[in-house]
Structure 1
Amino acid sequence: MLTEGRAGGGVVAADHVSLRRNNLSVVLRHVRAAGPRSRARIAAETGLNKATVSSLVAELVDRGLLREGRAESERGALGRPGQLVELDGSAVCGVGAEINVDYLAVTALDLGGEIVTERRVPLDVAHLDPGTTLDQLAELISGAVRVVEARGGEAAGVTLAVPGLVQSTTGSLRLAPNLGWAELPIVDLMQERLDAPAYPVRVDNEANLAALAAYTELRKDTDGKAEDIVLLTGAVGVGGGMVAGGHLLPGGHGFSGEVGHMPVAPAGGICGCGRTGCWETVVGLTALLNKATDPDDPVRDPSLDVEQRLAEITRRAEAGEARTLRALADVGTWLGIGGAILVNILNPNALVLGGYFAVLGPWLKEPLESAIRDRVIAPDGGGCRVVQSELGFTAAVRGGALISLDQVFLDPTLIGRDATGVAQ
């Protein structure tokens, strides 16, 4: 409700601007969720009046966020066909950037979620100082932004994905044990390297961002049905993220998802966090390679791209190499032991395998599902199915790009011309 004006009507003017900004968001998010729509249909489905929708659509088109599509008759309607409007992917992109133990990655997605550019480079991050790593990541980010700008677009923001405890509100990394990093103002450090960019820079846990991307992917496969999921993403470390009711569950202080440090193997090895028997010591990529290969095996070389290393493990498994198959079965069983704990506590609709778990899913899935059936107290494994994500190692950067784009959907006035319209 609009408040009465005072001091020359400033409060009313502010409320009009705020209301219009909200209505712009309503229309833009509706077109994203529902697909191309005529103005009349948008009005009917959102409850806004037709004149308001026409004005809002005109502004969104002017900002480059919507575009005119084909003409289409509304079902049962008489007269001329309505002109559809749809998302315009050319004006704005969200950028996601990831730091992991043995690689850096960056992806830019347009407003429609299509890839504009992506790149991943192998890098032994665990043996480099943070400054050197951030320098190289800044170069990747700058390159992605240049690609976006070269096609006439602008970056809505950059979200950094880091495998560790992150405080997104302060832009700080508290602890990343597998990187050997602690207490870094990572957003400030990256903004310095990017020369204080006009777009915002954020940071979040890589498993949380991967979970958002996996949830978006899964909704496409379930005709938009919202499900509760737990994503398990594996590389050297192991992380998890949960989406419930369409919302990520970050925890009271933002530190959720560190499932790799559940103590599941008391007689296990020393974890990167310094503790003994963490889950990732028996299911992380290092654990698999230790079981499947000798110390001098080239597949252990961290300078080799992770997908090349996994391609070799896949080749050996497909060839029936006994040691490789035993290692995969062992990791799959341990994955199910820890997964059963999560299913017993959270009862998700789906346990989604990401990272290297998804790549080697054909060999991990059966022992994992068997362990879940044996250990979940609810009938039929609590109704939880195991799903292999198709995103592989791109999930975290895609999730970061989606987070950057979400800000545009929440406030379309961040892009293009200044808002001049008044709520109708």
Structure 2
Amino acid sequence: MDDRRLATGGDVSSLAGATQDEVRRSNLSLVLTLLHRRGAQSRSQIVATTGLNRSTVGDLVSELVDGGVVRESAGVSGGVGRPSLRVEPVAEAATVLALDMRVERTVAAVVGLGGRVFSRREQRHAGESQDELLDQVCEIARHVLAEGPGLASWVGTGIGVPGVVRTDDGLVRFAPNLGWVDVPLGDRVAQSFRSSFGGERQVAVRNDSDLGVLAEQIRGAAADADNVIYLSGDVGVGGGFLIDGQPLVGAGGYGGEVGHMRVNPAGGVCRCGAIGCWETEIGQDAILRKSGAATLNETLDRASGGDAQAQQALAEVAQWLGLGLANLVNIANPQTIVLGGHLGAVYAAQPTVVDRFVDGALPAPREQARVVCAALGAEGALIGASEVAFSGLLADPIGVLARAEKAS
């Protein structure tokens, strides 16, 4: 993964003709992004990774130190000459609120610069109505914020939702597994935060799979790839795409709903109302229906113990999984396909079956694609939400910190 390309929005040439202030802001972004994603680095490592000269790196690091977001310490000598100073992010200097709204519960965390988790809570959804659920989300947010370093360091909020999200304003257009249609989640949460904490708080709402692919590329199983497909498996099935390191979300932010690809005209009715969606063939409900088990773990245990019905259920789901993946390989030409949730468990149990059907893709793109299980487990969307919330700070470190201090 090219840190310079990521820090400049994917196009280093975009700095051509930029003002000195714009170049400086971009270079500050480049250095802080590197430290946030890779942890402590020596000044020499920063020079080598970014391609900036030693003097420029020294000036940038000094400015970030003055801003309080990084600290320096004596380096360890590895050879001849004076050791290069060690630079690391200050986790408590900038924090974000990350929320992962799952079908049955919400997970919330306060995450510091560099990825350190200061506080984390889970809460099962107790009410049925939309208003009750939104109240619970804001309540758990207030709890984890109270357990964090303080509001002065709070620079953003990211929320993951299992549904179709308009990214401009956080409107959840359709989340069938939550029973939501046109819910202004971003506005509702921002309004609640204004009432509770004052000031304007930036709230970014994204599809949970879009967050999952971001997290797996930055901190997980796809860290060496710029072309990635991530499939989330829970009650439903979602997809997130990175193409040349950039999210593929479509004109309105609604792209990636691969769980609703129509694959079986003779299949069952999906929660979205259509017939034969991929989700109806590879979702958890399909596994339980075919296996006769009460839970996914029971299915896996029975299959490993030799139960023929459970083994057949996993094999059938693995076939449909591989068939759909072959189509995605042909469409997107990914380097890495990351399978999250129960889909990772299916692949781990039936890798030969899945791979055999993926091999039905065209030879050229198939040769470049590898299928792996998610490295971050169920935390992918939560980690991705924190990364989206940090994006403003990483793009303009000094400006965002100044605004956050004023808001607090």
Q: TM-score, normalised by structure 1?
A: 0.81
CA distance in 2, matches of 1:170, 1:380: 36
Amino acid corresponding to residue 139 of structure 1 in structure 2:
E
Q: Secondary structure at the match of 1:351?
A: strand
**Quick check: 2:212–2:230 contact (8 Å CA) kept in 1?**
yes
- Select between 261-270 and 62-71 the one with higher mean Cα deviation: 62-71
**Aligned equivalents of 2:383, 2:377: Cα separation in 1:** 11
Structure 1 residue matching 2:319: 3-state secondary structure: helix
User: Given residue 210 of structure 1, which amino acid in structure 2 is its aligned partner?
Assistant: G
Report deviation, 1:360: 4.0
Q: Does the alignment pair 1:355 with 2:341?
A: yes
1:48-67 correspondence to structure 2 within 5 Å = 53-67=57-71
Once the two structures are TM-superposed, the CA of residue 395 in structure 1 deviates from its matched residue by: 0.9
Matches within 5 A, 1:262-301: 262-293=261-292, 299=294
Structure 1 Cα separation of the partners of residues 69 and 219 of structure 2: 22
Shift of the 33–97 alpha-carbon distance from structure 1 to 2, 3 Å rule, reads closer
Matched ranges for 1:68-79 at <5 A: 68-73=72-77, 78=81
How far apart in 2 are the matches of 1:119 and 1:418? 28
Which residue in the other structure is 1:305 paired with? none
Residue 29, structure 1, aligned to residue 17, structure 2: no
| SS of match in other structure, 1:90 | helix
Is this contact kept in 1: 2:291–2:310, CA < 8 A?
yes
Q: Is residue 37–residue 114 contact of structure 2 (8 Å, CA) maintained in 1?
A: no
Query: Offset at 1:137?
Result: 1.3
Query: In the alignment, is the contact (CA less than 8 A) between 2:225 and 2:336 conserved in 1?
Result: no
Aligned CA distance change for structure 1 residues 321 and 64 (closer, same or farther; 3 Å): farther
What is the Cα deviation at residue 361 of structure 1? 3.2
Which amino acid is the alignment partner of residue 68 of structure 2? G
Q: Is 1:202–2:201 an aligned residue pair?
A: no
- Structure 1 CA distance for aligned equivalents of residues 159 and 116 of structure 2: 19
Distance 2:121 2:41 in 1: 34
Post-superposition Cα deviations, 1:105-132, rounded to whole Å, max 9, x if no partner, equal: 223332112333333334378xx22111
- 1:263 Cα offset (Å): 0.6
Q: In structure 1, what residue type is equivalent to 2:120?
A: E
Stretch of structure 1 that moved more, 284-293 or 255-264: 284-293
Unaligned runs of 5+ in 1: 1-14, 300-308, 420-424
Decide whether aligned partners of structure 1 residues 396 and 31 sit closer, same or farther in structure 2, where only a CA change above 3 A counts: closer
Structure-2 change in CA distance of 1:153 and 1:357 (3 Å): farther
CA distance in 2, matches of 1:81, 1:393: 40
Q: Does 1:164 align with 2:163?
A: yes
Mapping of residues 158-307 of structure 1, within 5 Å:
158-196=157-195, 197=197, 198-218=200-220, 225-293=224-292, 299=294
Which residue is 2:389 aligned to?
A: 404
Question: Secondary structure of the equivalent of 1:95?
Answer: strand
CA distance in 1, matches of 2:262, 2:126: 27
For 2:249 and 2:163, the matched residues in 1 are separated by 13
Residue 92 of structure 2: SS of its match in structure 1? Answer: coil
Give the whole-Å Cα distance in 2 for the aligned partners of 1:261 and 1:44: 45
Aligned to 1:320: 306
Aligned counterparts of 1:418 and 1:120: Cα–Cα separation in 2: 30
Letter aligned with residue 377 of structure 2:
G
Superposed displacement of residue 265, structure 1: 0.9
Give how far 1:92 is off.
1.9
User: Secondary structure of the residue that 2:269 maps to in structure 1?
Assistant: coil
Is the 8 Å Cα contact of residues 238 and 259 (structure 2) preserved in structure 1? yes
Q: Deviations over 1:182-225 (max 9, x none)?
A: 1121111112233355431110111111111112234xx67x53
Paired with 1:124 and 1:264, the residues of 2 have a C-alpha distance of 35
Q: Partner of 1:160: helix, strand, or coil?
A: strand
Query: Match for 2:328 among 329, 335, 342?
Result: 342
Q: How far is 1:35 from its partner?
A: 5.3
Deviations 1:390-417 (A, max 9, x none): 2222111111111111221111125545
Comparing 180-189 and 93-102, the one that deviates more: 93-102
Count of aligned pairs: 383
1:46 deviation in Å? 4.9
SS at match of 1:275: coil
- Higher alpha-carbon Rg: 1
Classify 1:41/1:285 alpha carbon distance in 2 versus 1 (closer, same or farther; 3 Å).
closer
User: What SS class does the counterpart of residue 208 from structure 1 fall into?
Assistant: helix
Compute the displacement of 1:27 (Å): 2.7
Distance 1:384 1:231 in 2: 13
Q: Return the offset for 1:65.
A: 1.4
Shift in alpha-carbon separation, 1:418–1:234, aligned structure 2, 3 A: closer
Deviations 1:13-39 (A, max 9, x none): xx7765543342233234446654455
CA-to-aligned-CA distance 1:121-179 (integer Å, 9 cap, x gap) = 34378xx22111111111222222222226x9722211111122211112211111222
Q: Indicate how the Cα distance of structure 1 residues 103 and 323 shifts in structure 2: closer, same or farther if over 3 A, else same.
A: farther
1:118 aligns with 2:120: yes
Identity of aligned residues (%): 35
**Equivalent-residue separation in structure 2 for 1:385 and 1:43 (angstroms):** 32
Aligned twin of 2:104: 102
Q: Which amino acid aligns with 2:395?
A: L
- Deviation, structure 1 residue 41: 6.3
8 A contact 2:217–2:224 mirrored in 1: no
Query: Cα–Cα, structure 1 residues 195 and 247, in superposed 2: closer, same or farther, change >3 Å?
Result: same
Corresponding residue for 1:389?
374
Query: Match for residue 145 of structure 1?
Result: 145
The alignment's TM-score, normalised by the length of structure 2, stands at: 0.84
Answering whether residue 92 of structure 2 is matched by residue 93 of structure 1, we say: no
Tell me how far 1:74 sits from its aligned partner.
7.5
Write the letter of the residue equivalent to 1:366.
Answer: T
Contact 1:230/1:240 (<8 A) preserved: yes
